[in-house]
Amino acid sequence: MIVQCIALLAAIMFAGAAIYVSVVEQPARLRLADGPMLDQWKWSYDRASKMQAALAMIAGLLGLWVGIRDGSTDWIVGGALMLASWPWTMLVMAAGNNRLKATSSDALAPDTRALVERWGRLHLMRLLFGSAGALVFLSQFCS
């Protein structure tokens, strides 16, 4: 039961962070001028990416482990949903992330704002993966 609780807690923390980024932080940063907006994105991304990556990995691997151990398809699905944020980030978001990280706020690219706006839309999938995974895990406690 401890492992399931840790997986659920990590999933809820991941989902909560993703919700905060999408609902609070992204709209706030988009109200800034382009240079400060990019600086804020970089500062936030450097910290949040490490935290969210760790939470997704913990929740995902523990969910898979519980599912395989107990023969529970629901735990496997929840674990897979939590881990889905990794390939989404690496395959879909990485190119834009790398361009934003390489852009200087003193010499902005013409599409910097558009890249940050696109990043926000793509980040919504991380919110969906995390929220769905957390809900799947939670459903196992409520059934």
* Mean per-residue pLDDT, 122-134: 98
pLDDT tens, residue by residue, 107-116: 898 999 999 9
pLDDT of residue 141: 84
pLDDT of residue 54: 97
pLDDT of residue 120: 98
Over the chain, what is the mean pLDDT? 96
pTM of the model: 0.93
* DSSP letters spanning the chain: -HHHHHHHHHHHHHHHHHHHIIIIIHHHHHTS-HHHHHHHHHHHHHHHHHHHHHHHHHHHHHHHHHHHHHT-HHHHHHHHHHHTHHHIIIIIIHHHHHHHHH-BTTB--TTHHHHHHHHHHHHHHHHHHHHHHHHHHHHHHH-
pLDDT at 139 exceeding the cut of 90:
yes
Domain residue limits at 58: 2-142
Count of the separate structural domains present in the chain: 1
